[in-house]
Amino acid sequence: MRFAIATLGCKVNQYDSELIREALVKSGHEESSFNDTCDLYIINTCTVTHRSDSDARKLIRRALKTSNNARVIATGCKAVTDPASLQEISPRVEVAAPSDVSGLLGVRLPRVITHFQHRSRAFVKIQQGCDNFCTYCIVPYARGRPFSRDIDEIIQEVEQLTSSGYREVVLTGVNMGLHEHGLAFIVNQVLTGTRVERIRISSIEPWTFEGSLLRLMVDDSRVCKHLHLPLQSGSDRILESMARPYTAGYFSDLVLGIHEACPDIAIGTDIIVGFPGEDDAAFQDTLGMIQRLPLAYLHVFPYSPRPGTKAYELDHWVDEMTKKKRVGILRELSQKKRKDFAIGLTGKNMDVLITSSRSGMSSGITTNYQKIMLNAPVKPGSVVNAKITGFEKESLVGII
């Protein structure tokens, strides 16, 4: 049987798709491109925004059109929160929550993955679920309450991936800081229990950040100097309305403290623009805060109302034109932040994970999550030390 998987959304979804892929391959089935004629199409959906919902519907319709006889299975978060909207696309669409996919396919999902197809870095899920219920967020309804993965299983998976040739693993989860043992403990266990060369931490909520994690980042070169800490708003009033359990001052102090301890660290953040009640003063609070903080980049999203969340019932919605204008302002600021941070690295030596190589050049990612072009071809997946010589066309440049 030929199958294809399309994945939308976060690293957790990408990890779940890899579990499905390995289960099918080990059962003797052949993976193919989503554009090819297959016997089975799996769409792993995301429902964080209206756009992700639209993308899922487009992929389902494409699969239905590509093959009249294929099975089309929709899973992921949208399959949990609104299965009817997927089923109504066509009677041929089968909808299954992530926990039910293996039964629908008749395969057993592996306990650990051994590869991460088409990627130079492997994702390792350490945790599932969230119980904070931010008022704008549908994810707790889709992913359920927090559940911590067994430490021995995490260690086994990282070591297996290392044996498969991966030099960097990215620890991920729905809300990683909620792991019952704490994220710092998990990172320390991976450091002591595996041979992996680089450990990267994906997005972590600011109120779960531990000082012991910062000490590991400062003291151990195997821990990548990169953090993504979602802010969402620089207005205390909006943060309270979002049910984010911190203030703008807390976030600011956290970022400044991390930067002081680790000056070359790249700290990124998420911002939601146009949340209900965000007036000009609230937006200026956010803009001013971002301008002041030593952030390396921003991910800026216009607020997308999600039925079933508390924010969906709020008054004082922001009009689309105002949202678009504010998004543009912050994205322009993000470009400046990226460039300023990158230029500040000129003259330094850093380890680079090579992601691709062609035309006598290589591209890769530094330990602090900067794209870089190098002056020689190097095998993808390798780690080399490079000297940063400048910044051109949205990328660092360097020599080996």
Model confidence pLDDT, tens digit, residues 252-294: 999 999 999 999 999 999 999 999 999 999 999 999 999 999 9
- Is 129:145 a contact under the CB 8 Å cutoff? yes
Q: Are residues 83 and 169 in the same domain?
A: no
Model confidence pLDDT, tens digit, residues 303-319: 999 999 999 999 999 99
Q: Are residues 138 and 156 in the same domain?
A: yes
Q: Is 176 helix (H, G, I), strand (E, B) or coil?
A: helix
The one-letter amino acid at 45:
T
In a domain, 358, yes or no: yes
Q: Tell which residue, 205, 130, 195, 143, has the closest CA to residue 169.
A: 195
Q: Are residues 138 and 265 in the same domain?
A: yes
CA angle at 347 for the pair 346 and 352, rounded to the nearest 5°:
80
Per-residue pLDDT at 131: 95
Q: Are residues 268 and 229 in the same domain?
A: yes
In a domain, 66, yes or no: yes
Sign of the alpha-carbon dihedral angle for 29, 35, 36, 40: positive
**Banded pLDDT at 162 (limits 50, 70, 90):** very high
Model confidence pLDDT, tens digit, residues 163-205: 999 999 999 999 999 999 999 999 999 999 999 999 999 999 9
- pLDDT > 90? residue 118: no
Model confidence pLDDT, tens digit, residues 76-94: 999 999 999 999 999 999 9
The domain boundary, picked from 105, 131, 159, lies at 105
In a domain, 359, yes or no: yes
Q: CA–CA separation, 298 vs 270, rounded Å?
A: 6
- CATH number, domain containing residue 94: 3.40.50.12160
Q: Are residues 213 and 334 in the same domain?
A: yes
**Count of the separate structural domains present in the chain:** 3
Per-residue pLDDT at 368: 96
Q: Are residues 181 and 330 in the same domain?
A: yes
Q: Are residues 228 and 322 in the same domain?
A: yes
Per-residue pLDDT at 294: 98
**Banded pLDDT at 117 (limits 50, 70, 90):** confident
**Backbone angles phi and psi of 319, in degrees to 5:** -70, 155
Per-residue pLDDT at 26: 95
In a domain, 130, yes or no: yes
Per-residue pLDDT at 56: 96
Q: Are residues 250 and 170 in the same domain?
A: yes
- pLDDT > 90? residue 227: yes
With a pLDDT cut of 90, the percent of the chain lying above it is 98
- Is 134:244 a contact under the CB 8 Å cutoff? yes
Q: Are residues 141 and 279 in the same domain?
A: yes
Q: Are residues 229 and 374 in the same domain?
A: no
Query: Could you please report the per-residue DSSP string of 307-329?
Result: TTSGGGG-S-PPPHHHHHHHHHH
- CATH number, domain containing residue 209: 3.80.30.20
Q: Are residues 220 and 136 in the same domain?
A: yes
Model confidence pLDDT, tens digit, residues 4-31: 999 999 999 999 999 999 999 999 999 9
**Banded pLDDT at 153 (limits 50, 70, 90):** very high
Give residue 82's domain range: 2-105
The domain boundary, picked from 105, 131, 164, lies at 105
With a pLDDT cut of 70, the percent of the chain lying above it is 100
Q: Are residues 179 and 262 in the same domain?
A: yes
Per-residue pLDDT at 393: 84
The domain boundary, picked from 47, 72, 105, lies at 105
Report how far apart, in Å, the C-alpha atoms of 32 and of each of 114, 290, 324, 397 are: 19, 44, 38, 35
Q: pTM (2 decimals)?
A: 0.94
In a domain, 111, yes or no: no
- CATH number, domain containing residue 392: 2.40.50.140
In a domain, 117, yes or no: no
- pLDDT > 90? residue 394: no
Per-residue pLDDT at 240: 98
In a domain, 110, yes or no: no
In a domain, 113, yes or no: no
Mean predicted lDDT score pLDDT of the chain: 96
Query: Could you please report the per-residue DSSP string of 272-313?
Result: EES-TT--HHHHHHHHHHHHHS--SEEEEEE----TTSGGGG
HSE-up of 22 (CA within 13 Å, CB side)?
Answer: 17
Q: Tell which residue, 3, 69, 63, has the closest CA to residue 30.
A: 3
Model confidence pLDDT, tens digit, residues 322-369: 999 999 999 999 999 999 999 999 999 999 999 999 989 999 999 999
